[in-house]
Amino acid sequence: MSEIVVVADPAELARKVALRTASELALAIEERGFGFVALPGGSFARVLFEEFVELSLQWDKVEFFFTDECGVPPEHPASRFAAANLILLKNQRIGAHQLHRVEADHHDLEWAADRYAEELPDEGFDVMLFELGADGHIASLFPSSPAFEESERLLVPVEVEQKPKRRVTMTPAAIALARTTILYAQGRDKAAAVERALLGPLDPRACPAQLLRDGVWLIERGAAPRTSC
């Protein structure tokens, strides 16, 4: 059963996502002394990371990973790592060694995917974060992605229509291991995707966000579907 929360505006959305993420990580730290989070890409990630650094949490006990990465150098504006590295390290309790980068700038993305998979926590993530795309994609899992053919590997290289085309993404198998998933959506252009993901016929290959149906959904009012969930 999904947990669906509709918020008033993007600022409240960022706060709610950050607070819920911190709550899940605090629980993990209390249980075993450390926590694992998979960070999103997307346009809203920078706003979200700014909220993170203001929160009181034992950030030194958190390991940060990425749900996907573009095949670009780590300092490139499209790099997921670049945004996190720039913003999260403002918090003095977060060290550079806690940010686990996908080496997606390597010429062999098969190698990069397998190497990163070796770093992932055996028990899965305490929380994984995803921004919803207007076409229903999450991470770099786009509709009809060949990644849906993979049942064992946790990361695979993919080529997508959007630039940068070459990427590495976590697979449905990796998502299934997460204790909590949080999907967030903002803007009227996402409303149809939200409605399809939550209320449409179940077909994750056509609407990858349906993989997260049973997770936490934080939705800015403009993206909320007209039909009741």
Spatial CA neighbour of 27 closest among 3, 50, 58: 58
Give the single-character DSSP code of 100: -
What ranges make up the beta strands (E) of 49-133? 62-66, 68-70, 127-131
pLDDT digits (tens, 9 = 90+) for 63-97: 999 999 999 999 999 999 999 999 999 999 999 99
CA distances from 15 to 35, 51, 181 (A): 20, 6, 16
pLDDT digits (tens, 9 = 90+) for 111-162: 999 999 999 999 999 999 999 999 999 999 999 999 999 999 999 999 999 9
Domains of the chain: 3-223 (3.40.50.1360)
Give, rounded to a whole angstrom, the gap between the first and last alpha carbons of the chain.
11
Spatial CA neighbour of 207 closest among 149, 148, 124: 148
pTM: 0.96
| Residues paired with 4 in a beta bridge | 217
Indicate the pLDDT class of residue 43, thresholds 50, 70 and 90. Answer: confident
